[in-house]
Amino acid sequence: MEKLAKRALLVDFYGPLLTEKQRNVWDLHYQQDLSLTEIAEVEHISRQAIHDLLKRTERILTEYEDKLGLVQRFWLEREKLMEVQTLLKGLTRTDFCSQAAYDCHQKIHTMIEDVFTNIAAS
């Protein structure tokens, strides 16, 4: 998983466990793309303090993931859903012995599409 995507997932899952200052500085740097110097001016502290805070925050997020594994579990479940989605797309009406079975297949397919839509929106 690319580093930027991993950081985004870490903060999505564990961000509420950070202090307000940690979340704010993280957001300014990684979401709003402000430089360390710009953030230091906004926060009225040194550039080095911002650097240290970002490194400490990343370490904290990584420690949460090491202990809880929510991002890894999310990624594995997402991969499984993608495989199921691919398998469902390969089925056609003629693969089913009844209309009810095909309707059930369509419902499952729609539900999985909804899950992916919700994941992409968040």
Q: Which CA distances in Å does 118 have to 2, 17, 112? A: 21, 23, 10
Tokens 């995507």 -> residue: 5
pLDDT for residue 94 = 87
**Contact by Cβ (8 Å): 122, 12:** yes
The one-character DSSP state at 114 is H
For 20-79, the pLDDT digits (tens) are 999 999 999 999 999 999 999 999 999 999 999 999 999 999 999 999 999 999 989 889
- Say whether pLDDT at 122 is over 70: no
pLDDT of 120 higher than 80: no
Model confidence, pTM: 0.75
Q: How is domain 3-68 classified at the CATH fold level? A: Arc Repressor Mutant, subunit A (1.10.10)
